Amino acid sequence: MTTLRLPGLIDVHVHLREPGGEHKEDLTSGTAAALAGGVTTVLDMPNNYPPVTGSSTLESKRRAAAGKALCDVGFYVGATATNAAEAAGLAGQAAGLKIYLDETYGPLRIQDPSAPAGHGLAALLGHFSTWPADRPIAVHAEGLSMAIAIGLARTFGRKLHVCHVSLASEIALIRAAKRSGARVSCEVTPHHLFLTEDDERRLGALGQMKPALASAADMAALWDNLDVVDCIATDHAPHTLAEKQGDSPPPGVPGLETMLPLLLTAVAQGRLTQARLVELAYQAPRRIFGLAAQADTWLDIDPDARYSLGSRELHTRCGWTPFEGMSVQGRLRRVVLRGETVFEDGRIAARPGSGRPIVPAAPGRNAQNAGSAGP
Ligand code: DOR
Ligand code: ZN
Ligand code: ZN
């Protein structure tokens, strides 16, 4: 059997749901899912209950992670209408600032639609003028909101990271923005690369998330413009089956455990090179978010194994996947984190505390504890 060795992947967009949503996922179950998917660092989003918008909520997440996480975890701080100064003061402990410009799950949309005109803009000006210029501002900004975020980043000379680009028009905008010199990076999700609105019709609520699955032409545009895509990130957003099958299903799908096999399948099919996979899911995330290398950390993969994705094998608490039944090629055999085997042949061997809360260094400076860049 040939073994392919890759660095531990970095997923810059996950929702671990702790605090407030532990019945969907918590720091331990979510980081178990990460390891089972070959991800040894995750950056966790702030749309919790309560949301992470200040030093006490950020500090309590970091403390919880130190005791419970199985892989390394960095934390975003969330933008509200009134917290620009406090958020900026936390930039040294946060993965980045997260701004929700559009309606989605959670309490953090920056503009309350019932607020007076100009209210949301004033909040955005506060954040874009106060957040440190060398740390990323990540945005949930679809369609026209994306153009607004890019315009603000240009106006204030800020570093923008656009989450989950899903449309042909959006990837065209990012290409043009990059060409014009904007400091903008972007991510796409596996679900927008491998599923379309036809799958949403088939899957019902299990195929619903924000941004929604798009047309086959949009999906093709993401593949055709992969050269402008910086990262692949899962937007792992677990909700229980009961919630998804209820009257008002929340948007979001899990993705940590299915990203690597899907991408390895694309490599086997010649749609992606192995070097590009490593760039998208390891090197670019490190560069954009200023993350130190994890010493003695790697993945061992059987690139020839063929199987079907299924919920039986999952470690995420939500216990389902929108990719159920999809045929893939490439199976993760072993994950080594800092010299310790933390996952092997379907079994988690890490203990709570194997993972660490991380403090990213400013890009360009030497990251703290930087070791070798892995294999
Ligand atoms: O589908 C989504 N679910 N999109 C988001 O932006 C948030 C996420 C969640 O937290 O469930
Ligand atoms: Zn989002
Ligand atoms: Zn998200």
- Looking up tokens 């919790």 gives 48
pLDDT score recorded for residue 365? 47
CA distance 63 to 79: 21
Distances (CA, A) of 129 to 61, 126, 137, 155: 26, 5, 11, 9
Closest ligand 1 atom number to CA of residue 208:
1
Cis bond upstream, residue 285 (ω within 30): no
CA distance 78 to 68: 22
Expressed in angstroms and rounded, the spacing between residue 251 Cα and the centre of ligand 1 is 6
- Looking up tokens 């980043």 gives 153
The highest-level CATH class for domain 4-348 is alpha beta
Beta bridge partners, 44, equal 14, 75
CA distance 355 to 344: 17
Ligand having the closest approach to the CA of 164: 2
- Looking up tokens 């299990």 gives 206
Sheet of 298-308, strands arranged across:
4-6, 298-308, 327-337, 340-344, 347-348
pLDDT score recorded for residue 112? 67
Judge whether 189 and 233 are in contact, CB under 8 Å.
Answer: yes
pLDDT score recorded for residue 111? 77
Segment (H or E) for 43: strand 39-44
Q: Where are the domains of the chain?
A: 4-348
140 lines ligand 1 (CB under 6 A): yes
pLDDT score recorded for residue 353? 86
3-state secondary structure of 148: helix
259 lines ligand 1 (CB under 6 A): no
106 lines ligand 1 (CB under 6 A): yes
Beta bridge partners, 16, equal none
CA distance 283 to 231: 9
pTM: 0.96
pLDDT score recorded for residue 349? 98
- Looking up tokens 């895509």 gives 229
DSSP 121-166: HHHHHHHHHHS-TTSEEEEE--THHHHHHHHHHHHHT-EEEE----
Expressed in angstroms and rounded, the spacing between residue 192 Cα and the centre of ligand 2 is 13
Judge whether 70 and 347 are in contact, CB under 8 Å.
Answer: no
Question: Which of 10, 56, 54, 59 has its CA nearest to residue 35?
Answer: 10
pLDDT score recorded for residue 362? 56
252 lines ligand 1 (CB under 6 A): yes
105 lines ligand 1 (CB under 6 A): yes
Q: Of 11, 12, 15, which is best to mutate to test ligand 1, by the most ligand atoms within 8 angstroms of its C-beta? A: 15
Ligand having the closest approach to the CA of 165: 2
Judge whether 11 and 43 are in contact, CB under 8 Å.
Answer: yes
Q: Of 105, 109, 110, 195, which is best to mutate to test ligand 1, by the most ligand atoms within 8 angstroms of its C-beta? A: 105
Expressed in angstroms and rounded, the spacing between residue 375 Cα and the centre of ligand 2 is 32
Q: Using a CB cutoff of 5 Å, list residues around ligand 2, an ion.
A: 140
pLDDT score recorded for residue 114? 66
CA distance 219 to 165: 10
Q: pLDDT tens digits for the chain (375 residues)?
A: 799 999 999 999 999 999 999 999 999 999 999 999 999 999 999 999 999 999 999 999 999 999 999 999 999 999 999 999 999 999 999 999 999 999 899 999 997 666 776 678 999 999 999 999 999 999 999 999 999 999 999 999 999 999 999 999 999 999 999 999 999 999 999 999 999 999 999 999 999 999 999 999 999 999 999 999 999 999 999 999 999 999 999 999 999 999 999 999 999 999 999 999 999 999 999 999 999 999 999 999 999 999 999 999 999 999 999 999 999 999 999 999 999 999 999 999 999 889 999 987 655 444 433 333 333
